[in-house]
Chains A and B, each alone.
Chain A
Amino acid sequence: MKDSINQDPMFKQLVSAIKSSQVTRRTALAGLGASATALTLAACAPAATKKELTPAKDLSATEKSIIWHNWSLYMDEDDSGNHPTLQKFEAQTGIKVEYKVEIDDNDTYFSKVQKQLAQGQDIGADVACPTEWMAAKWIQSGFVQKYDAANIPNKANLAPAYLGAAHDPNRDYSMPYQGILAGITYNKVEYKKATGKDSPTSLEDLWNPALKGRVGVLSEMRDTIGLILMAQGIDITSESSLTEDAFMNAIDFFAGKVSDGQIARIKGNSYSEDLENGDTIAAIAWSGDTVQLNLSAGNEKYGFFIPESGTTISADSFVVPMGATHKANVEELINYYYDPKVAAELAAWVNYVTPVVGAKEEAMKIDPALAENQLIFPTEDFLKNTHGFRALSAEESVKFSQAFQDVLLGA
């Protein structure tokens, strides 16, 4: 569960501190002892008064490398475990990419890197892809570097839907990697057996007593509560509709479903295991995974649908922390993935919503069926039913996530 120690940001910081001071082994050891004490003290020291962070010196010209933190099942992979699109990028540019699956959950990832991030130090990654709401928090706190648009000519291919976001209207700090669509994934055979119906049609169908103890939801608050809110007729994009009362009302509803045993599993990416071993029959899930699940099942075992009342859409976005020293390399990487051809190749594998205009046409050439898939290349009509969770104030964010986490603890 724990990463090896040399992955730990604090350990890295310690190593670099020792490296940077040219010392003999003996003084290094003394230093290690002293830094250990210093670290313990630092752990409990009050955070220094908030200072304006500045970007680290860009060493891209001399160091052709990038360390990239991303989510699992989020990169094309061939049978021998290589990433074809990344390999092509490396061959094209000579930039070596160290691709690491480090993010399993936005909050957990943030808690791991926050100390270094907040001080503008190296977090062990030149680029990371947190979800929009987390990226927004980083941008608002001044933790990330501004992109140089001139280095990303393919930025012109960004789908207009992603422009105008409150936290980054011109996409100066965050560039969407993949769009994420939530919905309901269900086991077709088991669902029919349990309820007698072919497929669920609304979120209400998850609360069918026949499914008691066989329903899963995501541990991502904005998706699970977002869907519930929409089913209750709340507009999750609007501040006047999604009030604290409305949110807490949805939390109460959710807590009720958890405590009466209707909802049995609340998980992050690992919800797919429950669907696979039959623990859950239907679950609030992410669109791309359904395709993966069917692939590994070998048939169209699972269906995915979006409730009439609407669903949540978001994105995982490239951000460059202040302490990263290879921003220009990252810009080249982003530019590469914004090439419609590359985007289509990636979409064919990860099956998430691609934010790149022109990828659909390219996908047509690879596989027409793929290009027709609404979940990967949604039409405008389709997107009408998908909404982004509104930005939360600092106070709301704490209160809401606290309430959600308490339901998860049964407290």
Chain B
Amino acid sequence: MAIAAFGHSGGAKPHKSSSPSRGSGKVALLLLAPGLLYLAIFYVAPLFSLVLTSLQTIDYSTGVPVYQYGFEIGNYVNVISQYGEQVGRSFIYAFFATIAALLISYPLAYFIGVKARRFPLIQSLMLTLVIAPFFISFLLRTFAWKQIFSNESWIVTTLQSIGVLASDQYLVGTPFLVIFGLTYNFIPFMTLPLYTSLERLDIRYLEAGADLYANPRKVFRKVTLPLSMPGIVSGTLLTFIPIAGDYVNASGLFLGSTQTSMLGNVVESKFLKSYDYPTASALSVILMGVIMLLVTFYVRKSGTDDLL
């Protein structure tokens, strides 16, 4: 499982020689108790409740939904057959947005972490700029983009006049703008892990590579890239996972339209508009399951288990 993949990455080099005695085990357990209790109440119990809810049936006969315990596996079948398109779209958008974020962040992080190393002031200034958007609410920033790309904005009218967009085509509500919004909103989550791994990059390795007659491209492929792999893996995970569940950018209230609904939008609608908790829960479980599978596969495949 993915969790296991992360599990042994956190504990950095345990001191195997000094095996704890029985007494200290109890103390450790005691110290762990608040954390375990927290996990039990705020993670395990809600997860349990979510899975149970996803298997409920609803009785609408009184006009007000009454939820009944059941073992309605059919919920999952219905969800997939009815909203498969939205589920698929979520992962496709997440994939493209993650790639775009990586392509933008890598040179940026490389510049901050390697090139700007000799100028600490520029380095910290640029890092601040990467984080600066967080000082403003996520919703406000997304809304601002909506205004910038609104139908009457100069960007849209210019694009229309030079023929990139037809006169009845606009940007808001297109998959392009949704992916743009997702990329923009999650870029810092990609840049920061990349920066931390590139910042530790030892320049002497690059010099050694050049000394051994490797051209810059080869040095990058054989030295820089492998050494920054932990940053790439954690960066892509930190962007891909929240993007797949995001519902703000794709919502018709922000950058999306009915044609760009993602899984999160279906969950929102089911929860808040239709009071259909079982379907919403089933979708959430599916999202979690698919992400877990993808991440496990990804972590295994990239062979970074022990790099992380």
A118→B64 contact, CB < 8 A: yes
Listed by A's residue number, 18 A-B pairs whose Cβ atoms lie within 8 Å are A33-B41, A44-B69, A107-B272, A107-B273, A114-B65, A141-B63, A212-B168, A213-B169, A264-B172, A264-B173, A265-B252, A278-B151, A279-B150, A279-B151, A401-B273, A408-B252, A408-B269, A409-B269
CB distance from B46 to the nearest CB of A (A): 6
- Does residue A26 face the partner (Cβ distance < 8 Å to B)? no
Contacts of A266 in B (CB 8 A): 252, 258
- Does residue B82 face the partner (Cβ distance < 8 Å to A)? yes
A213→B168 contact, CB < 8 A: yes
A213→B269 contact, CB < 8 A: no
Among A43, A47, A401, A411, point to the contact of B85 (Cβ < 8 A).
A411
Tell me the complex Cα distance, A41–B151, Å: 48
- Does residue A137 face the partner (Cβ distance < 8 Å to B)? yes
Contacts of B152 in A (CB 8 A): 277-279
- Does residue A410 face the partner (Cβ distance < 8 Å to B)? yes
- Does residue A92 face the partner (Cβ distance < 8 Å to B)? no
Tell me the complex Cα distance, A118–B86, Å: 33
Which of B10-18, B49-57, B180-188 is the contact stretch? B49-57
Contacts of A47 in B (CB 8 A): 66-68
CB distance from B192 to the nearest CB of A (A): 25
Tell me the complex Cα distance, A36–B69, Å: 20
Contacts of B49 in A (CB 8 A): 40-41, 43-44
Segment 33-88 of A: residues with Cβ below 8 Å from B: 33, 36-37, 40-41, 43-47, 50
- Does residue B61 face the partner (Cβ distance < 8 Å to A)? yes
- Does residue B96 face the partner (Cβ distance < 8 Å to A)? no
Contacts of B172 in A (CB 8 A): 264, 279
Tell me the complex Cα distance, A107–B274, Å: 7
0/1 interface trace, chain B 168-204, chain A, CB 8 Å (1 if under): 1110110000000000000000000000000000000
Given A44-B49, A279-B151, A411-B261: A264 touches B170 (CB 8 Å cut-off): yes
Given A213-B151, A277-B152, A410-B259: A36 touches B41 (CB 8 Å cut-off): yes
- Does residue B145 face the partner (Cβ distance < 8 Å to A)? no
A398→B60 contact, CB < 8 A: yes
- Does residue B253 face the partner (Cβ distance < 8 Å to A)? yes
- Does residue A299 face the partner (Cβ distance < 8 Å to B)? no
Among A33, A261, A411, point to the contact of B82 (Cβ < 8 A).
A411
- Does residue B90 face the partner (Cβ distance < 8 Å to A)? no
A37→B60 contact, CB < 8 A: no
B272→A213 contact, CB < 8 A: no
Contacts of A44 in B (CB 8 A): 49, 52-53, 56, 69
A405→B151 contact, CB < 8 A: no
Main secondary structure of the interface of A (DSSP, over half): helix
Can you add 11 more A-B contacts, CB < 8 Å, to A37-B45, A110-B275?
A33-B41, A44-B52, A47-B66, A50-B62, A50-B66, A278-B150, A397-B60, A409-B258, A410-B86, A410-B261, A411-B82
0/1 interface trace, chain B 262-273, chain A, CB 8 Å (1 if under): 000110010111
- Does residue A4 face the partner (Cβ distance < 8 Å to B)? no
Given A40-B46, A46-B69, A394-B63: A409 touches B265 (CB 8 Å cut-off): yes
Q: Interface residues of A toward B: which range?
A: 35 or more
- Does residue B147 face the partner (Cβ distance < 8 Å to A)? yes
Tell me the complex Cα distance, A360–B266, Å: 45
- Does residue B234 face the partner (Cβ distance < 8 Å to A)? no
Contacts of B173 in A (CB 8 A): 264
Contacts of A213 in B (CB 8 A): 151, 168-170
Among B63, B85, B253, B271, point to the contact of A397 (Cβ < 8 A).
B63
Residue of B nearest to A263 (CB): B258
Contacts of B62 in A (CB 8 A): 50, 141, 394
Segment 221-280 of B: residues with Cβ below 8 Å from A: 252-253, 257-261, 265-266, 269, 271-275
- Does residue A21 face the partner (Cβ distance < 8 Å to B)? no
Counting chain B CB atoms within 10 Å of each CB, the highest count among A209, A266, A394 belongs to A394
Contacts of A141 in B (CB 8 A): 62-64
Tell me the complex Cα distance, A397–B63, Å: 8
Tell me the complex Cα distance, A267–B168, Å: 21
- Does residue B139 face the partner (Cβ distance < 8 Å to A)? yes
Segment 36-86 of B: residues with Cβ below 8 Å from A: 41, 45-46, 48-49, 52-53, 56, 60-69, 82-83, 85-86
- Does residue A240 face the partner (Cβ distance < 8 Å to B)? no
Residue of B nearest to A270 (CB): B253
B85→A140 contact, CB < 8 A: no
Residue of B nearest to A209 (CB): B168
Given A37-B45, A137-B64, A270-B253: A409 touches B266 (CB 8 Å cut-off): yes
- Does residue A22 face the partner (Cβ distance < 8 Å to B)? no
Segment 105-122 of A: residues with Cβ below 8 Å from B: 105, 107-108, 110-111, 114, 118
CB distance from B116 to the nearest CB of A (A): 37
Tell me the complex Cα distance, A340–B85, Å: 54
